[in-house]
Amino acid sequence: MNRSIQYILVLFSLICESLICQCEEGFTYNNTLPNNINILLGDSCFYNEDLEGLADLISINNLEYDNAFGIGTQSWFNGRLKILVAGNYGNSSGVNDTIFSLPESIGNWTGLSGLYLEWNRISSLPSSFENLKELRSLYISNNILEGVIENLDSLSNLKYLDLGYNKINELPISICSLTELQYLWLFNNNLSSLPECMCDMNIDWSSDDSAWFPFFAIGGNSLCENIPECISNSENFNISLDQFYYSFQIDSPQECDFASINDLGNIPYEIKIENPYPNPFNPKTSIRIDLKKSGMVEILIYDLKGSLIQILNDQKLDAGEHTFNWDAGNYSNGVYLMKINTTKKTFVKKVILMK
């Protein structure tokens, strides 16, 4: 490279540092970004309060990232955090460890349109979640949520809401005011009742889209009495998506076979399988099974290549509760499948080993 070109490049760099690359107040400049950062539009100026929320998310969960730019896959638009993918998928697109809680400073992400938090252990949403008024997609399945924010209608632009595979007992009436909502997935929770006003929502209760995803699905709950007519008549009343990849629909009936008041103890419905806990785990996890009647139960561990690597049980079990532990100390990090076979059904649970 000749001297004149070198001079021009140095001069441009100095001009950039002194003029062009200076950010507005409230923004921080950073031109050395990792590969997980996508700039959809704009330069390398980033809103300080968005960065604060990311830093707090890392801090309160003791995640191993050097700075706010390290966590998940981030997309920025004109200096504002637009999309955050922070699911615990066991790969580089999400987080490197489990998220247990969300900081109040998440309310700073007022430009956020997409939030992906699947496969963590989040039990509640902070009150500041109501500030995410630009949010259009919320995927928070496979956590341990027991509820959502009371004023859910503050998320007025929401179009996609995935609350599947949690522990939600009740939905607020405010859900009925989500007028933009197109997809609502509530399967495999602990719901036993629903707001009557849900039939006022503009959702296609029974159809699928062109990719065979249901617009609505609510199987695997305990919705047995006094169910809003639009939902009890839905073709997807007993439908879920497969837990791991959402790649196909599965039958998941409501649990309505109640024990008599004179029965001793809590007798479960046919077979009830808890999600493995902890998950992700290191190196031990456990799975609990409740049987209504005695019967043959196989519990098998497979790797993602489909190879059987361990048998936790291959014997007849008595009625009642059983807990099985798996010590994966001799196996490498990754995703494994727990397959539970009974005489009538087969269940599969995904577990993630992270040492």
**Closest Cα to residue 33, out of 82, 81, 67?**
67
Half-sphere exposure of 339 (CA within 13 A, CB side): 14
Report how far residue 137's alpha carbon sits from residue 135's, in angstroms, rounded to the nearest whole number.
6
Q: What is the homologous superfamily of the domain 271-353 according to CATH?
A: Macroglobulin (MG2) domain (2.60.40.1930)
Domain boundaries, the chain: 23-251, 271-353
For 81, residues 6+ apart whose C-beta sits below 8 A from its C-beta are 47, 50, 53, 54, 74, 75, 109, 111, 112
Instruction: Please give the class, per CATH, of domain 23-251.
Output: alpha beta
pLDDT for the residue numbered 279 = 86
Question: Can you give the pLDDT at residue 21?
Answer: 58
| φ/ψ (deg, to 5) at 213 | -85, 135
CB atoms within 10 A of CB 347: 16
| Per-residue confidence (pLDDT) for residue 262, from 0 to 100 | 36
pTM of the model: 0.72
Closest-CA residue to 53 (of 128, 154, 159, 143): 128
The DSSP code for 9 is: H
The pLDDT, as a whole number, for residue 257 is: 54
Determine the pLDDT at residue 250: 86
| H or E stretch at 138 | strand 137-139
Q: Which residues of the chain are under the pLDDT cut of 50?
A: 5, 8-20, 258-268
Nearest to 270 by CA among 171, 161, 180, 345: 345
Alpha-carbon distances, residue 132 vs 82, 151, 158, 255 (angstroms) = 11, 12, 10, 34
* Closest of 160, 133, 166 to residue 148, by C-alpha: 166
| Secondary structure (DSSP) of 227-274 | --HHHHT-TTTTEEE-TTT--SEEE------PPPTTSSS---SSEEEP
| pLDDT on residue 2 | 53
Q: Over the stretch 91-134, which tens digit does the pLDDT of each residue have? A: 888 998 999 999 999 999 999 999 999 999 999 999 999 999 99
Structure token pair of residue 311: 């048998």
